[in-house]
Amino acid sequence: MSHTIEWEEPFCGEGNACFRIGTDAEGNAHIAVAGREEDRITDSVEALRTLIRDIKAGKADHLL
């Protein structure tokens, strides 16, 4: 079953791939590289909120 995804404008870094975040009416959140939306990661909106909060809190800084 295919869901309609409302994609946000891409988030781009200098010289890096652009990422898009979208949501659907079923409560799912989607993250994809711009232009490759068919190869997206899908989880709940709450999982996306947790991911963003954790990144903002510095929990992924060791990856940079």
Amino acid at 51: L
> Quick count: other Cβ atoms within 10 Å of Cβ 17?
12
Question: Could you give the CA distance from residue 60 to residue 64 in angstroms, rounded to a whole number?
Answer: 8
Q: pLDDT by residue (tens digit) across 27-58?
A: 999 999 999 999 999 999 999 999 999 999 99
Query: Across the strands, what pairs with 23?
Result: 6, 29
Report domain extents, the chain: 5-63
Is residue 22's pLDDT more than 60? Answer: yes
First to last CA, the chain: 37
Is residue 1's pLDDT more than 70? Answer: no
Confidence of residue 2 (pLDDT cuts 50, 70, 90): low
The predicted pLDDT at position 36 comes to 95
Residues 6+ apart with CB under 8 A from 7: 20, 21, 22, 30, 37
